[in-house]
Amino acid sequence: MGKKSSIQVKYTFVFIVTLALVAGAFLAGLSTLRDQVLRNEAEAVADQVIAFRAWVAGSGMIWVNKLAPGFPDYLATRTNFHGDTFYGKNPALATRELSTIANKTSLRATFLVTSDEYRQPANKPDSFERQAIETFKNDKSLKYVDGYQTGEYRYARPIFIKKSCLKCHGDPEDAPSEVIEKYGSKKAFGYKVGEVRGIVSVKLPSITWQQLLPILSNPIAIGLVVCAFLLNFLFTQRVIIKRLKQLTGDATAIAKGKLSTPLAYTDPKKSNDEIDHAYHAVNLLKKSLSIIMKRSKK
């Protein structure tokens, strides 16, 4: 076996390991913060989408008297007594058009309302969305599913069938003729209240470590960490290591017969310091040696 390391070497090693653990904990905290920031942003988008769908569903359909360029789709038409034609858009159509507009203009978040029983090819779910739908069907208590995929943060919120949804997604025999005419009677029917109809899927660019570096380089945070470790290091070196070295030197001198060696410490009755107690033990040994030396001379 090699020579046993000194307390100072052991402490230095523990100090470095502690520093690494603190840095690791700090990085883990930043990672959690990143996840929470992205999740909060995605939740806000999903809340708005669901609120918009609920608003459209509340009236059954919204009617416009002009089809916007690039959005020729509609579910039904009506003509008023002036001969003006109005085009009806159900919640699915209205939400899809909203997502198209939002996804073109958004600098960050994009979204899609999709389902495993989609009626429009543009609403086809990708692999993450298919897995999310399956997960929600297996566990309806889940509030969301999220993760990272190719540099993007992915988030999914379930959409459950409500009573108002059954008009277009319950028994096809009860569905409006416009729905049957447009989508047929086979797809996205047969649902019951409480079942998972689909999801709101949100994409956000992930926050990279390069973007997190400014947080890591915050001068106040770095200053506080440095002060904490410096205080710890100085306390150990000056209050513990230095006194132990002094005690070792004094005890060695006494062992060599220098009984006049002064021992500077606080009486254990007034101190809970372990080094003071060790000094006191050495002082008792010193007194015993003095008595023995005096008796031997007689």
HSE-CB of 232 using CA atoms within 13 angstroms: 13
Q: Which residues of the chain have pLDDT under 50?
A: none
Question: CA separation (Å) from 129 to 23, 136, 160?
Answer: 35, 11, 15
Give the model's pLDDT for residue 4. Answer: 67
Among residues 280, 250, 254, 245, the alpha carbon closest in space to that of 265 is found at: 280
**Could you tell me which of 135, 56, 43 has the C-alpha nearest to residue 90?**
56
Domain ranges of the chain: 46-214, 218-292
Burial 152-188 (b: 16+ CB within 10 A, else e): ebbbbbbbebeeebbebbbebeebbebbeeebeeeeb
> Residue 2: what pLDDT?
62
| Proportion of the chain in helix, strand, coil states, percent, rounded to 5 | 60, 15, 30
What's residue 30's pLDDT? 81
Asked if residue 119 lies in contact with residue 183, where contact means CB atoms within 8 angstroms, the answer is yes
**262's tokens:** 């002064």
The answer to whether the predicted template modeling score (pTM) of the entire model surpasses 0.75 is no
Return d(Cα 272, Cα 84) in angstroms, integer: 94
Q: In this predicted model, what pLDDT tens digit does every residue of 240-279 receive, in sequence order? A: 888 888 888 988 888 888 888 888 888 888 888 888 888 8
pLDDT for residue 39: 94
**Tokens of residue 100, six digits:** 């198209």
